[in-house]
Amino acid sequence: MIQFTDEEIYEAVENNLPKVTQYVSSHGGGISFLGVKDSIVYIKLVGACSGCSMSLMTTKMVVQKELRALIHPELNVVNVDGTAENEFPTDAFVKKSEVESEEKKDSVIGKVKEFLHI
């Protein structure tokens, strides 16, 4: 069992993710770190890796394997790919600044839609 809080895991992933992204970047993709819930790390593969038939293999055999080696051997990683079983939980731990940034973006989009009457 992982004896760390979601916040501690978040910090560890945030600090170690650049070490893991090299393989994904070499294939024209990237990793967007979304958050942590109940010791499960939620990512989104982007770029060429988004929707790739090998995305599950990349998530488990590259990202999860490397993060387990760097952080904790029981760490699990989920790629939020639009399927019901891989949804990002609304109550996951994310940094406050990232939540505020998303809220600000949503506010701007809302204002533009209101202005355009859409």
Q: What is the CATH number of the domain that holds 29?
A: 3.30.300.130
Judged by DSSP in three states, 28 sits in coil
DSSP state of 75: -
Instruction: Tell me the residue range of the domain where 65 lies.
Output: 6-116
Proportion of the chain above pLDDT 90, given as a percent: 75
Asked if residues 42 and 34 have their Cβ atoms less than 8 Å apart, the reply is yes
Number of separate domains in the chain: 1
Residue 1 lies inside a defined structural domain of this protein:
no
Residue 74 lies inside a defined structural domain of this protein:
yes
Alpha carbon distance 20, 63 (integer Å):
6
pTM (2 d.p.) = 0.80
pLDDT, tens digit, 9 for 90 and up, residues 33-78: 999 999 999 999 999 999 899 999 999 999 999 999 999 999 999 9
